[in-house]
Amino acid sequence: MDLASLSGIISGLVLIFSAIYLGGDIHNFWNVPGLMIVFGGTIATTLITFVFKDVVAAFKAAYFVFSKDKEDPNKILATMLKLCHISRRQGILELSHVKTDSLFLKKACGLIADGSEEDTIRAALQTEIESLKMRHFIVQDVFRKMGTYSPAFGMLGTLIGLVQMLSTLDDPTTIGPAMAVALLTTFYGSLASTLVFLPIAGKLKTRTIMEVINLEIMLEGSISVLESNNPMIVYEKLSSFIPAHSRVPLHKMVIK
């Protein structure tokens, strides 16, 4: 589980609502019409903007942000070193029997085992990476758009509340509820945008960058396997993708 994302949102909500509680009655910040305007309007507009399956994919990706830890690139590097050992000792045909959960790596091993040229392998795998970037961009854009729409609907709720208030100035009992809608919708929209939607979009973008780095390690590692490079050369080549302070030394690399 990604504790940074979960703790960030929870701590933000706790601090905000603690400040509200210390400053007065927290029930004053609960308004059903305001919630309907902001969240109902944001979801409706998002469904208009995107295909339904893209919206569903975006929320699944948001769940992924909280439930999955990032994949350690050192493990990817160890896997590529293992493939290098297999190809040098048992031949490249043995790579077709490698078991892996990564469809990308499975494809790379299949292309190598089939005797494909370096340019063919590089082009095929690079296409996979570019396609992944585009798919992830759409997922990120769903939350970026929601981060834009929610404050806009907050302002729309403010206008609705002001119209209701001004149209009933002759009845003082209606001024309070109307003003509550007017102010709280802006609060809801800003809160949802700055604490939920935009941070999730940013986290998904970061995850995409990290995943692309791992795929690049697999790509360059596959080319190294094809060229039958020495494991030491492969390590020095692929470890460049990993920050120096995070690299696992070759002699400590676990190659199963």
pLDDT, mean of each 10-residue run, the chain (256 residues):
74 85 77 89 95 92 78 89 85 83 90 88 94 93 96 91 80 74 88 92 91 93 82 87 87 66
In whole angstroms, how far apart are CA 100 and each of 67, 95, 103, 256?
21, 11, 8, 13
Residue with tokens 């759409």: 138
Q: What is the pLDDT of residue 181?
A: 74
Q: What is the pLDDT of residue 69?
A: 73
Q: What is the pLDDT of residue 16?
A: 85
Model-level pTM?
Answer: 0.84
208's CB contacts (< 8 A; 6+ apart) are 132, 133, 136, 137, 140
In whole angstroms, how far apart are CA 31 and each of 36, 117, 136, 171?
9, 64, 35, 20
Q: What is the pLDDT of residue 1?
A: 58
- Helix (H), strand (E) at residue 20: helix 3-23
Tens of pLDDT, residue by residue over 117-126, are 889 999 999 9
What is the rounded CA–CA span in Å between residue 36 and residue 105? Answer: 46
What is the rounded CA–CA span in Å between residue 255 and residue 248? Answer: 12
Which of 67, 69, 12, 58 is closest to 200 using CA atoms?
58
Which of 210, 236, 211 is closest to 84 using CA atoms?
236
**Sign, Cα dihedral of 211, 214, 218, 220:** positive
Ramachandran sector of residue 68 (left: φ over 0; alpha: ψ -120 to 50; beta: rest): beta
End-to-end CA distance of the chain: 25
